Structure 1
Amino acid sequence: MTEIRHIVFDIGKVLVHYDPELPFRRIIPDHRRRAWFLSEVCSHDWNVEQDRGRSWIEAEDELIARFPDEADNIRAFRRHWTEMVPYAYDNSVAILHEQLDAGRDVTMLTNFASDTFREAQDMYPFLKASRGVTVSGDIRIIKPDPAIYAHHTREFGLDPAATLFIDDSEKNVDAARAFGWQAVQFEDVEQLRQDISKFYNSTK
């Protein structure tokens, strides 16, 4: 196994908690109507297009044209976005800092809208601690497209075989491995600590 020289962290659900339902428990108290709204109106597929670089104005206009009665709730998604990322996973962040303190090359690769990512960096300064970040909304490519791994590799001068990627999504992990990176799926902090130790110890 090639010696690991680079570690790439995903952000959402690895370092920072994300749950779009949180503000909508207040905005749409009825759980059935809320479930419908988040699956059929402001859905994952709709939101991921902002991660791909679509503007919020365009995204809102497209939905309001289809669901005019939901205009206020649609606009509430962006307006209350910070409530969807209420805390960081302190133990995961501790692992991030351990890697940095050990002098390891750490970068981040995330599916995130450009503007909300900058807000997240202000909320969580550790998101500025690594050597750099590839934000999907900036380059208009999202995981698991192989092109985003290629971009990150070029941008940060990584050796793919010497790169360890950490992501909560199985499909993103599989795509990273197919590209040529080493990769592990984040499940919990203890497992992550064991995975990192395994990769480093196996190449000594």
Structure 2
Amino acid sequence: MSKSSVDAVIFDIGNVLIEWQPERHYDAVVGEARRREMFAAVDLHAMNDRVDQGGNWRETVMECARAYPEFASEIRMWYFDWMQMAAPAIPQSVALLRALRAKGVPVFALTNFGIENFEFAQTQYPFLTEFDRAFVSGRMGCVKPHRPIYEQVESACKIDPKRLLFADDRAENLDVPRSRGWQVHLFDGPTRWAERLVDAGLLTRQEAQL
């Protein structure tokens, strides 16, 4: 392999290392029709954004449940059933994280995640404790796709932005870092991500399990 142009690899978490599909859980528990009715009436993703920006997880969910009593029990699931929504892990992605670290490549997380639920997730998914640095929006007070969160990463890690490689499953989360010189990868599955890591000279095909 040629010398890599990457000094650190940055993983998003939701739908990169762990599946995050709240709608799927609601469909299984309350049915698709009820889920559609609730999501049309209640902006649950906006509620979750408040948690990701540092709001207290339980209090934010319970406040929303009180505001929409007709959906209160379902909204409370966002707290009580959260681990069923943030599941399962994506094993190939976890293996890539560990393969990079075994090679001595610094691996960071950059994730929109609340303070309390990230700490809870770490108790359920040990690999979430294995990053060299975890940049968690709830702790940082800002979220993707807005510029300040990427500026904070650059300031903290002191790595030339051109030598950062960032994988995220949402295209809008890649626009700002791309404009700042980061190398980016739109994650649509672990196989293509593995190939990108090999192409970057970070892993061999065997190490990437290709």
TM-score scaled to structure 1, two decimals? 0.89
1:179-204 residue CA offsets vs partner (Å, 9 max, x unmatched)? 22111111112211111222238xxx
1:117-166, Cα deviation, whole Å (9 max, x unpaired)? 11111111111111110110111200011110111122222221111001
Partner residue, 2:174: 173
- From the superposition, tell whether residues 103 and 60 of structure 1 become closer, same or farther in structure 2 (CA, over 3 Å): same
The aligned counterpart of 1:3 is 5
TM-score normalised over the length of structure 2: 0.87
Is the 8 Å Cα contact of residues 108 and 133 (structure 2) preserved in structure 1? yes
The corresponding residue for 1:16 is 18
> 2:120 aligned with 1:107, yes or no?
no
| Match for residue 61 of structure 1 among 57, 60, 63 | 63
In structure 2, the residue matched to 1:45 is 46
Q: What CA deviation, in whole Å up to 9, does each residue of 1:81-113 have, x standing for no partner?
A: 111122211111111111111111111110011
**2:95 is the counterpart of 1:94:** yes
Task: Name the CA distance, whole Å, in 2 between partners of 1:59 and 1:9.
Answer: 27
Give the C-alpha shift of residue 50 in structure 1: 1.1
**Per the alignment, in what secondary structure is the counterpart of residue 200 of structure 1?**
coil
Match of 1:127 in 2: 128
Contact 1:42–1:77 (8 Å) recurs in 2: no
Q: 1:79 to 1:134 in 2, by over 3 A?
A: same
Aligned length: 198
Task: Quote how far apart the aligned CAs of 1:72 are.
Answer: 2.2
Q: 1:42 to 1:74 in 2, by over 3 A?
A: farther
Preserved CA contact (<8 Å) 2:10 2:110: yes
Which amino acid in 1 is paired with 2:16?
V
Q: Residues of 1 paired with 2:166 and 2:177: CA distance?
A: 7
Please identify, of 162-171 and 37-46, the stretch whose mean Cα deviation from structure 2 is larger.
37-46
List gaps (5 residues or longer) in structure 2.
Answer: 203-210
Q: Quick one: distance in 2 between partners of 1:131 and 1:144?
A: 22
Aligned sequence identity (%): 31
**Alpha carbons 2:65, 2:73 under 8 Å: kept:** no
Aligned to 2:200: 199
* Cα contact 2:65–2:76 (8 A) shared by 1: no
2:149 alignment counterpart: 148
